[in-house]
Amino acid sequence: MIKSMTGYGKSVEESQGKSVSVEIRTLNGKQTDINLRTPSFLKEKEPEIRSFLTGLLVRGKIDVFVLYNDQNYKEIPEIDKEAAKQFYLQIRNLGKELNIDGNTDYLSLLMKVPEIFVTKEKEIDDEVWKFILSNIENAAQKVDAFRKHEGEVLKGDLKKRILKIVELLRRVDGYEKERIVRIKERIQKHISEFLEGTGVNPERLEQEMIYYMEKLDITEEKIRLKKHCDYFLEIMESEENSGKKLNFVAQEIGREINTLGSKANDADLQRIVVLMKDELEKIKEQLYNIL
């Protein structure tokens, strides 16, 4: 089974005045890149969130948005007594320096200084954490299901293109005998023209031609290319998270196709090689998004 690295999942839940919304989006990436946007009181839980997401989603660019609201929770600012004392001393000393009436209502003045008020960060309890975590897990599972569905679509396209390469490879056999004859005739013609009247030994010429024809033989390349294509299909059917391995096999397929092209010396075979390369390029484009 293969999976796409593109995915989306969302989980929204409300319970007893509490509500949470979790949204996860994933894109292709070589490594695991998790971007968390969560309420500040969840900072201590971020390592746990990252560990869970890495275990399930493996790799790619992963954006996570968590919104939490508790209607029962009222934020009541507290007075920072030390800060209030410092402000009071500064205000009183300033009053003395400016000869301002000593009956100044310093408390009223202090209440207008926003810096003396602090809001305690909300502490997370086990119940709230379980409530949020269950929605993170639910959203991540939806992403995984999305990736599987997209992976099936990609799998169908990749299989079609690999089988197209195999079909083109079969067509090579139809041109092989004619190709050898044409190459042999062309070599003989050129050598005859070049060596006309020089008295070259026919046996020696035949030996050289055999050597040259062996250098142009593509039997091994055809065998290896077929094996690589079969292995590619096997990996897609039997392994999970196989994107990197499929990339390696695609590189090997590319090497054999390039060797076929370099040995071709025939217009018909070159056209087949071009068609193979076109299919392989489309395969490589798709593999960038395979997990």
Mean pLDDT of 113-133: 81
State the pLDDT at residue 73: 62
* Same domain membership, residue 168 and residue 49: no
The domain total for the chain is 3
Asked whether 40 and 27 are in contact (CB, 8 A), the reply is: no
Which residues are CB-neighbours of 142 under 8 A, at least 6 positions away? 8, 9, 10, 11, 24
Residue 207 structure tokens = 């030996």
- Give the chain's length: 291
- pTM beyond 0.85: the answer is no
* Same domain membership, residue 214 and residue 182: yes
Mean pLDDT (the chain) is: 85
Residue 53 structure tokens = 């997401």
* Same domain membership, residue 67 and residue 49: yes
| CA atoms of 241 and 189, how far apart (whole Å) | 55
1 domain-assigned: no
* Same domain membership, residue 62 and residue 162: no
* Same domain membership, residue 108 and residue 34: no
* Same domain membership, residue 133 and residue 29: yes
* Same domain membership, residue 189 and residue 99: no
* Same domain membership, residue 88 and residue 53: no
More confident residue, 192 or 170: 170
Mean pLDDT of 5-11: 96
Q: Give me the domain span that covers residue 95.
A: 78-118
Q: Which of 68, 58, 3 is nearest to 34 (CA)?
A: 58
State the pLDDT at residue 120: 65
State the pLDDT at residue 279: 96
CATH number of the domain encompassing residue 47: 3.30.230
62 domain-assigned: yes
Mean pLDDT of 230-244: 92
SS3 256: helix
2 domain-assigned: no
Mean pLDDT of 167-174: 88
* Same domain membership, residue 11 and residue 144: yes
37 domain-assigned: yes
90 domain-assigned: yes
pLDDT of 198 > 60? The answer is no
Q: Which amino acid is at 239?
A: E
